[in-house]
Structure 1
Amino acid sequence: MTGRRRWSTEEILGTAAELLRTSDAESFSVRKLAATLGTDSSSLYRHFRNKTELLRAVADRTIAAAMDGYHPPDGWKQRITATALRLREAFGQHPQLAVIWGRYGSGGTGSRVVMEEMLQALRASGLPDEEIPSRYHRIVILVAALIASEAGIDALTPDEYEQGMEQFRVAVLGADPERFPALAHFAREIRPLGVDRRGAFDEILAAHLAQIETALP
């Protein structure tokens, strides 16, 4: 009698990533993953203790792939920006995983590579060592929030996106000027959240790094 196939950790993570392309963390389950692989849940629990550990590993796999082949550019701000843009591009291709990363975090190899690079970059800036951990923490929160925000929009279907745009136009262009005078005044200049996200990402990150630069001794 032929036994069940033994799946490798990498094969399990790859299949989980594919499942998460079309579902979110709430609807994803170890049982559904096991069914896709043609095995039972108990075989997967030999690799991961629970669903959260599995989701963290999938997110970390994406981070590791994003940093594969990375070579630090010159300049500490350029290093942080290059790392952030690599993460942005990787999670942009897997928007459901971006939300998981922001929610669960990760302590795997990929995350350690990112942490090391950002900490090294901040050290190269000339910041005192005692300030670096808090600065690093703020940068990661900012980058994760920006990526998760974009991912939430990227995960929408075309119909859902267009419906949101229509609601935005009605809410903004139809605002009562007596009740919402500022909104009515700027209505034709206010842009929906999903517009020019790349430019907003770059500008917000650059402004934060410039603020750090002004604090350098």
Structure 2
Amino acid sequence: MSERVVPPDARRRRRPTKQGVVLSDELIVATALRLIEEHGTEALSVRRLGRALGADPSSLYRYFRHTDDLMLAVADELIGRTLRVWRPTGDWRADLRELGLRMHAGALAHPRAAVLSSYRVTGRAYEIQAVETILGVLRGAGFPGPEAVRIYHVFVDQALAYGALDSASIALPRAAQEAETAVWQATYAGLPAETHPNIAATARHLVTDMGGSSYPAALDLLLTAAATRLTEIRSRAQDNSRTDQAG
């Protein structure tokens, strides 16, 4: 794609293409997301995307400057799909846990796109909304600005990293997935206590646990650490208040 992108108000078509398609940002992004999941990144060619849309490939330049611009839009749409189904309750810890789990589930629903977009900063509407929302949850809970940003950073990076990690795993061919799972039973469960006492003592737990994602446990550990930090902040604030009153 090129640098000939047209402003939103000017690029809206008044009529369908010759193939009967009315193009829009949303339709192009949804089609690109589908093609990525079916064929991988090579699907993001102007020719293939135009063919899938039933539109002249050159018409896509009116909406996106180049394929990277489109990739950022796809990444932002993944964020939007999570935000559209997440409903905060006012309990900061429960809200962040639910949001994290939904982010992870969204990545697994679109594994190839999730792997590609996990390390990108889009600067687009949904990402901006997500940053504002998560910081609002943290600041509303009582975290000062610097702490809110630090926890936001860890929370988002953890969710994106696990989304990419687990997406890469489920994107493996079925035979490869089964072979990796079998290693825990075939290899680790058979190691003798004489040479590997710790593995032998926990072998059955390794077999049952290692085949799944550790993201829920990691998320809980993060939120527990954040809650502990919040308790420390509140305690220090109370101590400072007493000191000020005594003085």
Output the TM-score relative to the length of structure 1.
Answer: 0.82
Within 5 Å, give how 1:118-133 maps onto structure 2: 118-133=134-149
Aligned pair partner of 1:62 in 78, 81, 84: 78
Tell me which residue corresponds to 1:152.
168
1:190 and 2:206 are equivalent in the alignment: yes
Structure 1 unaligned regions, length at least 5: none
Is it true that 1:30 corresponds to 2:30 in the alignment? no
Please tell me the residue identity of whatever aligns with 1:115. Answer: V
Q: Is the 8 A contact 1:150 1:194 kept in 2?
A: no
Q: Which amino acid aligns with 2:145?
A: D
Post-superposition offset of 1:112: 1.8
Report matched runs for 1:48-197 at 5 Å. Answer: 48-173=64-189, 182-183=198-199, 186-191=202-207, 195-197=211-213
> Which residue of structure 1 lines up, in the alignment, with residue 218 of structure 2?
204
Identical-residue share of aligned pairs (%): 27
Separation in structure 1 between the aligned mates of residue 92 and residue 177 of structure 2, nearest angstrom: 37
**Corresponding letter in the other structure for 1:28:** A
Residues of 1 paired with 2:53 and 2:117: CA distance? Answer: 24
Q: Is 1:11–2:10 an aligned residue pair? A: no
- Confirm or deny that 1:215 pairs with 2:229: yes
Unaligned runs of 5+ in 2: 1-16, 234-247
- Distance of 1:46 and 1:10 partners within structure 2: 13
Displacement of 1:57 after TM fit? Answer: 0.7
**TM-score of the superposition, structure 2-length normalised?**
0.74
Q: Give the stretch that moved more between structures: 53-62 or 158-167.
A: 158-167
CA RMSD of superposed structures (Å) = 2.7
Tell me the SS of whatever aligns to 2:39: coil
Q: Deviations over 1:146-170 (max 9, x none)?
A: 2222212222332231132234544
Counting matched residue pairs gives 213
1:103 match: secondary structure: coil
Specify which structure has the higher proportion of helix: 2
Looking at structure 2, the residues matched to 131 and 84 of structure 1 have their Cα atoms a distance apart, in angstroms, of 18
In 2: Cα distance, 1:34 partner to 1:196 partner: 38
The answer (yes or no) to whether the contact 1:30–1:41 under 8 Å persists in 2 is: no
Contact 2:75/2:113 (8 A) holds in 1? yes
Match of 2:23, SS?
coil
Cα distance, 1:121 vs. partner? 1.0
Which shows bigger deviation, 163-172 or 102-111?
163-172
Please state how far the C-alpha of 1:117 moved relative to its aligned partner. 1.6
